[in-house]
A and B are shown apart, each in its own frame.
Chain A
Amino acid sequence: MEKTSSVDLDNSDGFTVQYGVMTSIPGWPPNPSFNINEYWRFVQKGIQEKLRQLLVGKCNLIAFNSDLFVGDIKSFRETLNNLLRDYRRISGLLIIRREHKLSGDPYKLLGSAYAIELVANHQADITVPADLLQVLTPQVKKIALRS
């Protein structure tokens, strides 16, 4: 079986919405609107693609980055929980959120910290082991790649 892609590209399926940029600086940015991806639709498409690769009788997780997510993470988590009810073969979703580490000086970027969170599917055929759940939920585990 051929491996499904681990990346999805923007603009290929109309997964974009247009956002305007407002600043108090005249003439900047030169183009005052741009497109960003609709994260939710990406997730739905990603799940459909990855379903083909999941094995029956195994604990299957799907990891998504959430760099493009804009909105309330708590309500998004609830939406994911509801979505997972329809997919008993998926034991859970690993949501990886990247956060830039700033030093306090807005122009100093000290690298990235990642928050990793498991959204478990309690209706799954095979549920996530309790000890892994304990490590990754309900608190988000934050991991810094640079000190």
Chain B
Amino acid sequence: MSIDYPQAILEMCGISQLELEERIDLLETHFGKRFIDSLFSRYGGLDVSLINQICERSILAESLSTISGFNTIHKKIINPSNHRSSLDEPHGEWFQLTVGYLLKSVNEEPIFEQNIGGKPKDILIRKGEIHIECKSFRGSVASNKVLNELIQFGKNFKC
């Protein structure tokens, strides 16, 4: 069933309804319909930041799903016991995928979550010769709140 998304929000993100639906389909394929449905019900609909996350995360999933170790990260993201799971949480795992994607973009071949010498490695490239550990710092709740207020103010101001 097709849902009509608010045109103004789609325009703000520079994306058509068809493109957005394709992105959501991709995410459902890789992370399951239940996971995506739960996001929509939790967020209470689409907003600009969620559309951007949908676009970005669908690209990561599409690009990396066949890479060794992706499934381990995928399981952590959709872990049903983590009620905060989203397109931004767990933050460290999403960052790990982003780093993997960026390395792939410069023609490296990343693999994820390998155990080398008894130590778990986030990412390996060059047949295991280069080890990459990832550390992501998440914005504070307070500063995110201010940013969201700013975005909301901008939307209202335009209307």
A contact set with B: CB distance below 8 Å: 1-11, 16, 21, 25, 28-31, 34-37, 39, 42, 46, 49-50, 53-55, 58-65, 67-68, 91, 94, 96, 103, 106-112, 114, 116, 128-129, 132, 135-136, 141, 143, 145-146
Query: Is B12 a contact of A7 with CB atoms below 8 Å?
Result: no
Query: Is A106 a contact of B132 with CB atoms below 8 Å?
Result: no
A83 to B135, CA, bound (A): 17
Query: Is A107 a contact of B142 with CB atoms below 8 Å?
Result: no
Query: Is A34 a contact of B146 with CB atoms below 8 Å?
Result: yes
Known contacts A35-B142, A35-B143, A54-B133; 20 additional CB pairs below 8 A are A6-B133, A8-B136, A8-B138, A37-B137, A42-B137, A46-B137, A50-B135, A61-B132, A65-B137, A67-B139, A103-B14, A107-B154, A109-B48, A109-B52, A111-B13, A111-B14, A116-B106, A135-B107, A143-B105, A145-B55
Shortest CB-to-CB span from A27 to chain B, Å, is 11
Partner of B119, one of A1, A108, A114, A145: A1
Query: Is B137 a contact of A67 with CB atoms below 8 Å?
Result: yes
Query: Is B154 a contact of A106 with CB atoms below 8 Å?
Result: yes
A21 to B147, CA, bound (A): 11
Partner of A110, one of B13, B93, B121, B130: B13
List of A residues within 8 angstroms of B117 by Cβ: 55
Partner of A35, one of B48, B90, B140: B140
Query: Is A146 a contact of B132 with CB atoms below 8 Å?
Result: no
Query: Is A16 a contact of B140 with CB atoms below 8 Å?
Result: yes
A5 to B120, CA, bound (A): 11
List of B residues within 8 angstroms of A132 by Cβ: 108, 126, 130
List of A residues within 8 angstroms of B149 by Cβ: 28-30
List of A residues within 8 angstroms of B90 by Cβ: 7
A1 to B120, CA, bound (A): 7
Total A-B contacts with CB atoms under 8 angstroms apart: 173
Q: Which of A7, A31, A143 has the most CB of B within 10 A?
A: A7
Q: Which residue of B lies closest to A60 (CB)?
A: B131
- Knowing A3-B120, A7-B95 touch, does A63 contact B133 (C-beta < 8 A)? yes
Shortest CB-to-CB span from A50 to chain B, Å, is 5
Query: Nearest 6 CB-CB pairs, A to B?
Result: A6-B92, A7-B92, A10-B140, A46-B135, A3-B120, A34-B142
List of A residues within 8 angstroms of B136 by Cβ: 6-8, 64-65
The stretch of B27-35, B38-46, B96-104 that contacts the partner chain: B96-104
- Knowing A21-B146, A29-B146, A34-B145 touch, does A49 contact B135 (C-beta < 8 A)? yes
B129 contacts A by Cβ under 8 Å = yes
List of A residues within 8 angstroms of B140 by Cβ: 10-11, 16, 34-37
Query: Is B135 a contact of A62 with CB atoms below 8 Å?
Result: yes
Query: Is B118 a contact of A1 with CB atoms below 8 Å?
Result: yes
